[in-house]
Amino acid sequence: MFFIVFVFICLRGGSGFVGRELTRLLRSKGHEVTVISRQPGPGKITWRDLESNGLPSCDSAVNLAGENLMNPLRWWNESYRKDLFSSRIDTTKALAQAIAASPEPPHSWVLVSGVACYKPSLTAEYTEDSEWTPFDLLSKLVKEWEASALLPDNVSKTTKQVVIRPGAVLGRDGGAMKQMWLPFWLGLGGTLGSGRQPFPWIHVSDLAGIIAHALEPPVDTPSSSPQVFNGVAPALNTNYEFTKEMGRVMRRPTVFPVPGFVMNTLMGSERAVVLTQGQKVIPKRTLEAGFQYKYPDLTSALKEILGS
């Protein structure tokens, strides 16, 4: 738990799915939250405010910004690709620069990126210690995104840097579930591609909890390198297992598999790969840090989300 009663969290992306859950969690603990938003309002500052006045006094900063990778209203084209990069890298760089320029930088700086850095495999297992190099567009995005968050050495000596890499985020109010619920409710749910691909996932409440856990003040002198935590549930599930469990909880059949070539046609191969391939991601450091999951398995997570 925090050592300070009121914590100002400069939370870029605070009005989004994960941001709403994190804000609710922090405020329930008595912390004060400031959100960086496009529009001004109570408890908010705008990007123009940040550029003009610098970072407001805060104990921690979080960046959750980013164009929705699975936005069904946008075709997978060059403009969309540019927005995926700029919405993440430019905002992260601006916030990191504001932290570096602050006369009293926050004690913790957290970036939430993604597991797309790990190369898809049916057999390989990845922990936070796994080495990786970019191999496609999305892994290149994660590489540049995380690099844009790095603080200069003089600031990193006092500000703890943390990177959290979540899998598919599941919850009632958004994320992957928002697009899957209707087909499953209509009885049209099914596996994606072969169904054998790993499906790293996390309940939105647990992701918010991991972020809050990472915001605690550093006990020792911070490292110049970020601490990395895999923001995934400890269960290692495949797409087939997820599909069948979701169908069971919803009491709906799951007999309509979607072939990989259909996904590629509908979404574009670079975006479809997120769903048709996967990685076995283990939250080794997350567990070692003492984080206690509320929803460590699919059954408990899906029952909470679907209201069964």
SS3 per residue for the chain: CCCCCCCCEEEECCCCHHHHHHHHHHHHCCCCEEEEECCCCCCEEEHHHHHHHCCCCCCEEEECCCCCCCCCCCCCCHHHHHHHHHHHHHHHHHHHHHHHHCCCCCCEEEEECCHHHCCCCCCCEECCCCCCCCCCHHHHHHHHHHHHCCCCHHHHCCCEEEEEEECEEEECCEEHHHHHHHHHHCCCCCCECCCCCECCEEEHHHHHHHHHHHCCCCCCCCCCCCEEEEECCCCCCEHHHHHHHHHHHHCCCCCCCECHHHHHHHHCHHHHHHHHCCCEECCHHHHHCCCCCCCCCHHHHHHHHHCC
Q: Is the pTM of this model over 0.75?
A: yes
Q: What is the pLDDT of residue 278?
A: 92
Task: Tell me which long-range contacts 73-82 makes (C-beta under 8 A, separation of at least 24).
Answer: 75/268, 76/267, 76/268, 76/270, 76/271, 81/137, 81/270
Q: What is the pLDDT of residue 1?
A: 38
Q: What is the pLDDT of residue 7?
A: 53
Q: What is the pLDDT of residue 264?
A: 82
Amino acid at residue number 196: R
Q: Provide φ and ψ at 165, rounded to 5°.
A: -110, 95
Q: How many CB atoms lie within 10 A of CB 29?
A: 12
Structure-block tokens of residue 273: 């790969």
Structure-block tokens of residue 243: 């599909």
Q: What is the pLDDT of residue 2?
A: 38
| Residues forming a β-bridge with 112 | 164
Pairing of strands 108-112, 60-63: parallel
Digitized pLDDT (tens) for each residue of the chain, 308 residues in all: 333 334 566 776 766 889 999 999 999 998 889 888 878 888 888 888 888 999 988 899 999 988 887 776 677 788 888 988 999 999 999 999 999 999 999 999 999 999 999 999 989 999 999 999 999 999 999 999 999 999 999 999 999 999 999 999 999 888 888 888 999 999 999 999 999 999 999 999 999 999 999 998 887 877 788 999 999 999 999 999 999 999 999 999 999 999 988 888 877 777 788 888 899 999 999 999 999 999 999 999 999 999 85
Q: Please, what CATH class does the domain formed by 9-306 belong to?
A: alpha beta
Distance CA 204, CA 301 (A): 9
Angle at CA of residue 46, ends 143 and 225, nearest 5°: 30
Q: What are the residue boundaries of the structural domains of the chain, listed by start?
A: 9-306
Find tokens 């797309």 and name the residue. 116
Q: What is the pLDDT of residue 14?
A: 64
Q: What is the pLDDT of residue 105?
A: 93
CA distances from 296 to 155, 197, 254 (A): 36, 19, 23
With CA atoms as reference, report the closest residue to 228 among 306, 81, 111, 119: 111
Q: What is the pLDDT of residue 5?
A: 31
Pairing of strands 227-231, 160-166: parallel
